[in-house]
Amino acid sequence: MIEPYSSNYLEPSKQYRKFSILSLIQKNPDITQKFLGQQASLSSSMVNNYIKELSSENLIYTSGSSNRSMTYHLTDQGKEYVATNFLAFSAEIVQFYAGVRSEIVEILLESYAEGIRTVVLYGASDTAEIVYSAIKKTELTLTGVVDNDPNKIGKLFFGTMIHPPLKINEIRPDALMITSFARQNEILEMLEGKIDDQIKIKMVSRLWV
């Protein structure tokens, strides 16, 4: 089930708040209002208001005589609400994903025009999955994936074996693309003096700079 998220750019709407609270209740009927607030980034009073509203709309019902024994349950109407909103929410996310991928494709095409033909991705992350999908829309060739996480090394990333960073020079791509946003500077420092000069280093976070 989709968990509530916090974002500086995608402000959750009231409809999303209701959807996320219902999703949390569906997953765990014994959930407390305090935990609902923590998960949905809402104050206790706001959660209480949402609970009252959801109850009045016949989306949930409660059982138990005290706060400690209180449990929340979705009505059939509530389950239908979650299912319908899950589809709508998923459709919006897919559209957003497609837009981000389209932007990355344009940048990759510029890299291709610079003469880059083969690419190694640094970081087998969620962002790397979008970059990988974008690469497939171009004539660039993914020749490897590296990551310094020992739990990822040796596993497959869409059919490509994940290697440790020391394999970069051996693979010898035209460019190494760092897909991490949060750790880009740390990765750059770690790679300093260890990558052949012929290998260009690109960072997804700076593709728009």
- Please check whether residues 194 and 115 belong to one and the same domain: yes
Distance of CA 55 to the CA centre of its chain: 32
* End position of a domain, from candidates 40, 57, 74: 74
DSSP reduced 3-state for 146: strand
> At 24, which CATH number?
1.10.10.10
Angle between helices 33-40 and 14-27 in degrees, nearest 10: 130
- Please check whether residues 46 and 116 belong to one and the same domain: no
62 lies in some domain: yes
- Neighbour tally for 186: CB within 10 Å: 11
Mean pLDDT of 82-110: 92
The band of 3, judged by pLDDT with boundaries at 50, 70 and 90, is: low
- Please check whether residues 114 and 62 belong to one and the same domain: no
Convert the pLDDT of each residue in 103-127 to its tens digit.
899 989 999 999 999 999 999 988 8
What is the number of residues in the chain?
A: 209
Percent of the chain with pLDDT over 70: 92
Mean pLDDT of 163-186: 91
Number of domains in the chain: 2
The confidence score (pLDDT) of residue 7 equals: 62
- Give rounded-to-5 percent helix, strand, coil for the chain: 50, 15, 35
Residues in Cβ contact with 139 at an 8 Å cutoff, skipping those fewer than 6 apart:
112, 117
- Please check whether residues 121 and 54 belong to one and the same domain: no
- Please check whether residues 165 and 108 belong to one and the same domain: yes
84 lies in some domain: no
Computed over every residue of the chain, the mean pLDDT equals 90
- Please check whether residues 183 and 104 belong to one and the same domain: yes
> At 130, which CATH number?
3.40.50.720
9 lies in some domain: no
Residue range(s) defining the domain that contains residue 26: 14-74
Mean pLDDT of 84-91: 94
Distance of CA 101 to the CA centre of its chain: 13
DSSP reduced 3-state for 60: strand
- Please check whether residues 116 and 194 belong to one and the same domain: yes
- Please check whether residues 60 and 142 belong to one and the same domain: no
pLDDT over 60 (residue 2) = no
- Please check whether residues 126 and 200 belong to one and the same domain: yes
49 lies in some domain: yes
| Residue 30: closest CA among 58, 59, 69, 57 | 69
pLDDT over 70 (residue 190) = yes
Convert the pLDDT of each residue in 118-154 to its tens digit.
999 999 988 899 999 999 999 999 999 999 999 999 9
6 lies in some domain: no
3 lies in some domain: no
- Please check whether residues 155 and 111 belong to one and the same domain: yes
- Please check whether residues 135 and 52 belong to one and the same domain: no
170 lies in some domain: yes
* End position of a domain, from candidates 58, 74, 90: 74
Convert the pLDDT of each residue in 33-47 to its tens digit.
889 999 888 998 999
179 lies in some domain: yes
